[in-house]
Each structure stands twice: as C-alpha cells, then as structure tokens.
Structure 1
Amino acid sequence: MASPLIQSEAHISGECFKAPLPILTPPPVARWLLFSSTLVFAVIVVGGVTRLTESGLSITEWQPVTGILPPLTQEQWQVEFDKYKLTPEFKLLNHSISINDFKSIFYMEWGHRVLGRLIGITFVLPLAYFAIRKKISTKTTLRMSGLAVLIGAQGALGWYMVKSGLDDSLMETPGAVPRVSQYRLAAHLGLAVALYAGMFGTGMAAIKDWKFAHGAPWSGLKSPEAISKVLANPIVRRFKTQSWALAGLVFLTALSGAFVAGLDAGLLYNEFPLMGGRLAPPADELMSRAYAKSADGSDLWWRNIFENPTTVQFDHRVLAITTYLSTGLLYAQTFKPALRAALPPLARMATGVVFAMANVQVLLGISTLLYLVPVPLAAAHQAGSVALLSAAIHLLVTLRRPGLAAQLLRRTRRKPT
C-alpha cells in the first residue's frame, strides 16, 4: 500500500515541484466509523424500547463512572428501589410494583446508559490512535473530534431529559402524567440521529474514496474523466439538491415522531388514513385554546403544534405522507430518459433503495398506529426511520465527488513508471 506521503508532481504557474499527497482515510478507519454508527443505531432502538416500556425514569441519578455497575446485592437493590419510590412516576403510576418488577425496568434503562458509555469508549480511543498515528487528516480529526464532543453532550442531554420526568412539580399539576419533556426527548433523539448520520456518511464516503483511489469505478462510472462532467450536469445537480431536501425531510419526520412518542400521541386516532372518520380532526381540536398559556393567546399556534397530542399526531402524519410522496417522486424521476442517461448507475440504484425503504417504513408506521403502539412494532418503526435516513445518506454519497486525496492518489497510480 502506498504511503500517504508519496511524492506527486503538481504544476502551479508553470513550475513543477514535489508535494506530499493529502492523507487518504484507510479502510480500518472507515470500518471503525461504520461500526460506531451501528452502535449508535442500536442505542437509538434501545432508547425507543426504554421509553416504550416506561423504563427511563427508573434510575434517578446520573453517575457516569460508578453507574456502570448495576446493584449487585439485595441491599443495593433496595436502596435503588427506595430512591425510585420518591419519584412522581412511582407515586402516581407504579405504586404497586414489586422490587422484581422494578429490576426489569431498571435493567432496561441501565442497558441503554451502558451502551451509550460503550459508544464513547469505542469512538474516542480509536480516534486518538488514528490521529496520533496520522491515519486521518487534520480536517477529518477535527470533524471526528466534534462528534466525540457531541457524544459527551448526548450523555448530559439524556440526563437533562430524564430530570424533566423526575420533577416533583408534576405532583402538583392536575392530570399530569409522569414522563419526560417531549422537547428534551426530541433534542435527545435528534442529536443521536445527527451523530449516526455523521459517522455513517463519513464512513461510506471513506470507503468509496479508497476504492476509487485504487482503480475502482466511481458510482458505476468507469472513466474518472467522466465524473466531473456528470456531476456538473444541471439535471444531476438539481437531482442532488432534491436528494438533500429529501434527507432533511426524513430527519424532520423522525423528530416529529419524537413528539408523538413523548406525548403518547400514537394512542389517539388509531385508524388510517382518517382521523375520527375525516381527513383531519376539527379545527378547534387541532388549535385548542386549552394549550395556550399567555393571556392574549399569542402562543396558541406553537403550543398546539408541540404540546397538543392530536395536533402532534396529525403533523407527523402529514410529514410522513409528504416524505413518502417525495421519495416516490424522486424515484419516478429516474425513469425519465434524460435523467436516467445522466445519473451515475449507482445513484439510480440507491434511489430505488430509498423508495423501497420508504414503503417498509410506511407499513410499519400504519401498523404501529392500528395496533395501538405495541413495543415490537413501535421499535421497528423507530429503527425504520434511521434505516430510511441511511438510504438517503447513501444516495447522497453516490452523488458526491471523490475526495482530493483519492483523486491525487489515483492520478499518481495511473502515471507511467
């Protein structure tokens, strides 16, 4: 394997000089990023199950180091159970559970937290190794260091979310249900999905760059000279912009799902496509004045959008349908002769994968709604949202240019000796 410091010829202002090639990210780094993204995918799913089983409020303290070990003796279990008995959730909902019942929800939340710590360890330590050994460029090191900081922030945000469900003020609010803030839940999920996207997208791009640098086609294009021409085509550029918009829409729809989960809005209107026998609930239900807190009602619209379970479910339906239709339209475009001839072959295939995953996700979402949010279906639906985003990211990777290091190394390898 050629060293990233192989000398290559470059021409500037008519002068020839020797310059070191930029560092090309090697396959072990790409595999580490994809493994890390898989762990984040897993923690998102486990976090969804934790919420669905109402286990998230079982651990009442945040102990990043000592909390790695669960209670090991009966006395330790009793101490944790006594702490839980002081929470609003126990007093209002679970006052009759036994210590064995408590253990099951405790282990669910403990597993979620331990998996989060594992992600931190398996990301930060290899990152330090790759950076010290100069396996990755300074730019990549800084980008990955930013992700490492976000992992730590995610842990703190997770505790900030849990604290909202432990607040004693819930005991003084008539009709209050002990649960975490839907705003903090959405932020927690959103950051996790952003972490996943950063790891997965960077890993996929690194693999493609490495293969291209060593002679492989780029997104199915056999001629390296054709890449710039294809990606500069206005039709392809417009398609790429639409693909970015679709990825953003998938992310936004997933965030809206967090509000549905946080408010248990999936337990309302368990039918599809209608809601109470009509396409949309009555206007006074969607924009109920009961949710406004300011005297002049100026917060009526946004509080209903984020705090009214009926409106939250309706908005999620609208976003989900919009995402599905947008995916279908993007896929349909690939059958137009002009675009079909211009798109890289792998991009056409990737678009089909996105549409296929969108169909799976729609079926999971409808089934989850109709069957009153059973844990297996709801967890699969949350996993499906990340899988759909993965497909959208892969499509974007097929539409990007090879990295500078990959381009230069490929040119060096093609020069006659």
Structure 2
Amino acid sequence: MLPSLWARCSALRPQKQLFLRSVHKPSVQARPLLQSQRLSAFAAGKFARNGQSSILSTIRSQCRSLSGAVTSTRLSFDPRFFSSNASGVLSAETLAANEASDSANADALPKLTPPSVAIWLLASSALVFAVIVVGGVTRLTESGLSITEWRPIAGILPPLTQSHWEEEFEKYKATPEFKMINHSISLSEFKSIFYMEWGHRVLGRLIGLGFVVPLVYFASRRMLPRSLARNLSLYALLIGFQGALGWYMVKSGLEDSLLETPGAVPRVSQYRLAAHLGTAFVLYAGMFSTGISILTDWRWAKKGVWSGLKDTGSGAVWKSVLENPAVRRFARYSKVLTGLVFLTALSGAFVAGLDAGLLYNEFPLMGGRLAPPSDELFSPLYAKKPDGSDIWWRNIFENPTTVQFDHRCLAITTYFSTAALYAATLRPTLRAALPPLARRMALSAFAMANLQVLLGISTLIYLVPISLAAMHQAGSVMLLTTMMHLLVSLRRPGAAAKIWRQTQMNARKARSS
C-alpha cells in the first residue's frame, strides 16, 4: 500500500511542473519547500517500526497540501481570469463574486423574443396579404357564391369525381345567383369559379394552420413573453373568427329572399364584406407590426441600433429623439393618418360590395360636377322608417352614389395628408430630429399614395377591370404597411430590450474600468 500511495503522490509532481512552466516563474519557489517536507516525512517513517499509519497520514496530508498549492496557483495565475485592460491579478474571492454576479444577472434578465418569432409573424402577415388579394379577385370574378356549404374539414378537398362535380353543380343551381344571373353557365364554367372560391378558403385554412402550430411550438419552448403569448393567442382566435365571419358573409348572398325583393342583386351584404375585410386588415397590421417590433427590439438589445441610429454609448439615443416636441407632433399626426388609411380602405369594401365603381366612371368630376345632386346623394328611396329618420346613415352605407363619393373624399384626403406628412420631413428642424428609418418610411408612404391614386383612377375610368381592381386593393394594404412601419420606427424599445441593452452597457463599463 505504501509504494502505491507514494507513486500517486509523486505523480502530481510532473503535472505541477508542466503547469508551472505555462504560468509565472515565481510560483516555482514553492517546489523546494514541498519536496523537503515530503522527504522529511518519508525519512521519519523509515525509523519508525510500527509507524505505517503515521507515514500514511503524513503522505495523505502532504498530497492534499500539494494539490491545494496547485489549485491555488491555477486560481491565481490562470490566464482566463485576466482582463485585457487589467494591470494586476484578480483574487480568487473577486473572481468567484464576479461569476456569481454574472449568473444572477443572466437569470434576472427578462425574456427577449428571438428573431425567429419575428420571421414567423412576417411570413404569416404575407399569407394574410395574399388572402386579401385572392379574396378581392374572388369577388371580382363573382366566384364567392359558388360553394354553398361551409365544411371546415371536409371542404379541404375539391370534388374528385364527375358525380361529385355534378352534385356541387346542382347545389349551385338552387342559389339566387344561378337563377338570376348565371342560369346558362356550363359545368366547366362552374368549375372555374368553384376553384377560385375553393382556393380562397384553402388559403385561409393554411393561414390558421401556419399560425397556430408555430405558436404552440414557441409557447411550449418558452420563447415568448407572457404578454406576447397572450396577444398572439388572441390573433389565433381572430383567425378562427375570420373563417366563421367569411361564411356568414357568403350566406347573405345565398338567401332565397333575394328572389322576392324587387331590384335585388344576388351578392353578399356590404356590411358583412366590410367586416370580413376589416378583420383581415386588423390581422395583417397586428402580425406585421409585431414582427417588425420584435426585430427592432432585438437590434437595439444586441447591437444598439434603433431606427437607423447607432448608440454611441449613452444608451439614450431614442430618448433624445422621442422627447423632441416636433417628433412627438409628427408621431401623433402619423397615428391619425394611419387610422385614415384604414378607414379609406374600409370604405372601399362598401364600394366593392355595392358595385359602386361602375357609376360615374370619370375623375375628378361626377356627372360633370364635383359632387352629384343632393337629392341623389341622400335619396329618400333608401330610408326604411316611415318618418325617414334613417335617411342619412342608410344613404352613406347603402346608396352606391353616396358610397363612391365618400370613398373619393376619403381617398383625396388621405393623399394630401400623406403629402403633408412627407413635406413636414423636408423641414430642416424636423429632418434633423427624425431618425433615418422614419424619414424613409414617410417617403415610401407618399410614393405608395401616388401609386394608389393612379390605380384607383384607372380602375374607375376603365370600368373596374379585374387586374387593376386587384392591384388597387393590394395597394391599400401596401400603403397601410408603410404607415405601420413608420409608427414602429417611432416606437420606444420594449422593456426587455431596454434592460438587456443597459446590462450590456454596464458589463462593457465594468470591463473597461
């Protein structure tokens, strides 16, 4: 036993020598003392007949002292504990305190949403953008009433056999649209409008699946803060509500009462159409702005970049911008303009629902004058109460002439408001105060407003062709996109991003001191 313990103790010596060669030379001074202590203990053991236990205990104590010396030397001279700007060596107590502090700070930091969540939200918003455009084409081609049932699961597959197609065609023949307008279409023509509506519905299901499944994944991996997870769960419920609202809209165009109403046209209710489109706009705006906000917070927390401005080290680059009175007025005006863009797009849903774009196909006049006659704008024919008290709001929402006039007024107001917003950024004082991203988004909004006006006028003059009308509806989404991006560019960083950024700055100051 004695030789084996002596060998194990002696094996520490070459390890210690190799280590001491890689660190500072003065630490080798401990070696003669350790060697002399070990040899003395061994010599004393030679003259003790029954002193094996004493020798063993002495060797064990010397081994422990030697191991402690090596550990102490490593803690004192390990290059990992040297700062690049340090002039001396940190003590083991200081290093342990720093490590404990760093660990506590990391655990105390709030959850910062990763960019992968933002990419998923932006992809979802792109799908919503696509379904808005496809929905517009579906309405323009009068395909929305071709599917007479709402089957969320079974409706995923189209008819696969000839008998199934004939069955669907028979169901369509019972609708007011077939009896009043499409009574002469063939089965092949029916298939074309069926596939358009089917594609619109399948895309809506794809949006729901593409949103809910990643949401469950991110939530289960705890990659979402609690408030964000709650908001995204509301978006998921809104997607389901949007599907039910779409069927509620289609159902309004399948009612048999249209056959008995004089002058009725088999089309969906403009109120339900506006609600369906407005919900899609809310979904798109929420997904897009949330995704952009997550990316903005990540850049600020990790790189110190906010709206195109680089943090110089003070950590208050966004504060100096947003506390400027001119910037605060600009931000308030931008919010009002964003609401006006949304309202203008919503009024377009009433124009589409009533086919109001087929009236007064000229611009800027309407029948040779700036506005139609007042008795046409507020016709008593649209009032349903005997006292005519509902004449105002019914004409605003149900009279095609009034609906088109209102949409024109809102569009013109939106255009000049966007031009005024961009003109404000050209003033030297505001231009110097605004961040670069906000200036670019104001320019983009004005450019998109010009394109949207050209598309709207062209759609009106050429009697609402499908291609121009679809691009006009897509243009409304793009104009809303630029305004949402402008609002995000003037948004304060989130609480988690500010804490992460401040922690990084504090760590940087500690390393440099």
Common fold by TM > 0.5: yes
| CA contact 2:204–2:243 (8 Å) conserved in 1 | yes
Name the counterpart of 1:151.
239
Name the counterpart of 2:317.
226
- Correspondent of 2:372 among 281, 292, 313: 281
| CA contact 1:7–1:18 (8 Å) conserved in 2 | no
Structure-to-structure mapping, 1:158-197, within 5 angstroms: 158-197=246-285
Name the counterpart of 2:301.
213
- Aligned residue pairs, count: 406
Deviates most, 173-182 or 342-351: 342-351
Structure-to-structure mapping, 1:318-329, within 5 angstroms: 318-329=409-420
Name the counterpart of 2:400.
309
Name the counterpart of 1:241.
332
Deviates most, 206-215 or 298-307: 206-215
- The one-letter code sitting in structure 2 at the alignment partner of 1:166 is L
Instruction: For structure 2, list consecutive stretches of 5 or more residues without a partner in the other structure.
Output: 1-98
Name the counterpart of 1:111.
199
Give the 3 Å change call, closer, same or farther, for CA 27–18 of structure 1 in structure 2: closer
Give the 3 Å change call, closer, same or farther, for CA 8–218 of structure 1 in structure 2: farther
In the alignment, does 2:230 pair up with 1:142?
A: yes
Post-superposition, which runs of at least 4 consecutive aligned residues in structure 1 deviate over 3 A? 6-9, 16-19
- The one-letter code sitting in structure 2 at the alignment partner of 1:366 is I
| CA contact 2:304–2:501 (8 Å) conserved in 1 | no
| CA contact 2:118–2:295 (8 Å) conserved in 1 | yes
Name the counterpart of 1:42.
130
- As a proportion of its length, which structure holds more helix? 2
Deviations 1:174-230 (A, max 9, x none): 111100000000000000000000000000111111111111421122233221121
Name the counterpart of 1:271.
362
In the alignment, does 2:499 pair up with 1:408?
A: yes
| SS of aligned partner of 1:174 | coil
- Correspondent of 1:357 among 440, 448, 466: 448
Deviations 1:217-252 (A, max 9, x none): 211222332211210111111110100001100000
- Correspondent of 2:187 among 88, 99, 109: 99
The Cα shift of 1:18 comes to 7.8
Between the aligned partners of 1:347 and 1:18, the Cα distance in structure 2 is 33
The Cα shift of 1:118 comes to 0.2
Between the aligned partners of 2:100 and 2:191, the Cα distance in structure 1 is 61
- The one-letter code sitting in structure 1 at the alignment partner of 2:112 is L
Structure-to-structure mapping, 1:330-369, within 5 angstroms: 330-369=421-460
Give the % identical residues: 70
Between the aligned partners of 2:105 and 2:162, the Cα distance in structure 1 is 73
Between the aligned partners of 2:142 and 2:450, the Cα distance in structure 1 is 29
Name the counterpart of 2:74.
none
Deviations 1:349-382 (A, max 9, x none): 1100110000010100000001000000000000
Between the aligned partners of 1:160 and 1:230, the Cα distance in structure 2 is 47
| CA contact 1:8–1:19 (8 Å) conserved in 2 | no
In the alignment, does 2:378 pair up with 1:290?
A: no
Between the aligned partners of 1:195 and 1:19, the Cα distance in structure 2 is 34
TM (normalized to structure 2)?
0.78
Give the 3 Å change call, closer, same or farther, for CA 91–18 of structure 1 in structure 2: closer
| CA contact 1:8–1:21 (8 Å) conserved in 2 | no
| CA contact 1:22–1:405 (8 Å) conserved in 2 | yes
Name the counterpart of 1:254.
345
Deviates most, 212-221 or 163-172: 212-221
Between the aligned partners of 1:226 and 1:33, the Cα distance in structure 2 is 28
Instruction: For structure 1, list consecutive stretches of 5 or more residues without a partner in the other structure.
Output: 1-5, 10-15
What RMSD in Å do the two structures reach over aligned CA positions?
1.5
Give the 3 Å change call, closer, same or farther, for CA 75–65 of structure 1 in structure 2: same
| SS of aligned partner of 1:214 | helix
| SS of aligned partner of 1:229 | helix
Between the aligned partners of 1:8 and 1:268, the Cα distance in structure 2 is 72
| CA contact 1:26–1:206 (8 Å) conserved in 2 | yes
Deviations 1:101-144 (A, max 9, x none): 00000000000000000000000000010011011101000000
Deviations 1:262-312 (A, max 9, x none): 000000000000000000000000000010000000000000000000000
